[in-house]
């Protein structure tokens, strides 16, 4: 009787071992045959940054229509304190109304942070706008979402905020304003409606 029990246990143990080995082989095969998921491609930082730099260079020439060509057909502009502007044609009209009165002027973008990859990317930067005499008339921050269309990066969403009022309240150097001195706003013409031009 004991011999039969021992034989049964031995047979059961052998069957369990075979099942475990078979299961292990199946898992290894499944892992080997599983499709490889490629990691997201790193953003082409230079090309993404070049779009914003092109925006600045074109702005200096006053060619607002050329700037609008940097946007997708269904792009959206999100100006501070205003409703969004949808579509390239409407964006050009907004530029003519709000940027044209500020010209001639120049804008410089710096402190870039670029994220994403593949066919979408996000670019954050700071900007500084100067009037025709070189005076700083606006400082702020920008965030744009770009998409790659036919191999070219284009702006799909564009939003920014103006730091100028906060800078003015702090005396322009980050320190509280001196008492007993009038805190006059700088001579700036951001646009016909007095709102942020960029």
Tens-digit pLDDT string for the chain (198 aa): 444 344 444 444 555 556 545 545 544 444 444 444 444 556 689 999 999 999 999 999 999 999 999 999 999 999 999 999 999 999 999 999 999 998 999 999 999 999 998 899 999 999 999 999 999 999 999 999 999 999 999 999 999 999 876 454 444 444 444 444 344 434 444 454 556 666
Quote the pLDDT of residue 92: 98
Q: Which two tokens stand for residue 88?
A: 């390239």
Geometric angle at alpha carbon 72, from 101 and 139, rounded to 5°: 40
DSSP 178: P
Quote the pLDDT of residue 174: 42
CA–CA gap between residue 49 and residue 126 (Å, rounded):
12
Question: For the chain, how are helix, strand and coil distributed in percent, rounded to 5?
Answer: 35, 30, 30
CA–CA gap between residue 180 and residue 168 (Å, rounded):
16
Class of CATH domain 45-169: alpha beta
| 3-state SS, one letter per residue, for 31-89 | HHHCCCCCCCCCCCHHHHHHHHHHHHHHHHHCCHHHHHCCEEEEEEEECCCCCCEECHH
Quote the pLDDT of residue 17: 58
- The pairing of strands 105-117 and 152-162 is unpaired
Using a cut of 0.85, tell me whether the model's pTM lies above it.
no
Instruction: Decide if 51 contacts 155 (C-beta within 8 A).
Output: yes
């Amino acid at each position: 009787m004991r011999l039969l029990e021992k034989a049964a246990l031995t047979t059961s143990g052998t069957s369990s071992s075979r099942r475990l080995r078979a299961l292990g082989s199946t898992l290894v095969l499944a892992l080997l045959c599983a499709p490889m998921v490629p990691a997201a491609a790193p953003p082409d930082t230079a090309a993404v940054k070049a779009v914003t730099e092109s925006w600045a260079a074109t702005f200096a020439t006053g060619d607002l229509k050329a700037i609008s060509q940097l946007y997708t057909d269904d792009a959206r502009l999100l100006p501070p304190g205003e409703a969004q502007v949808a579509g390239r044609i409407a964006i050009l009209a907004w530029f003519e109304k709000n940027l044209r009165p500020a010209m001639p002027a120049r804008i410089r973008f710096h402190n870039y942070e670029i994220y994403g990859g593949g066919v979408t990317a996000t670019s954050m930067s700071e900007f500084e706008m100067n009037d025709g005499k070189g005076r700083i008339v606006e400082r702020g921050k920008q965030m744009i979402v770009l998409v790659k269309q036919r191999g070219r990066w284009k702006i799909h969403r564009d939003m920014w905020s103006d730091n100028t009022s906060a800078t003015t309240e702090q005396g322009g150097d980050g320190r509280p304003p001196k008492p007993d001195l009038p805190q006059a706003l700088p001579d700036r013409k951001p646009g016909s409606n007095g709102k942020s031009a960029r």
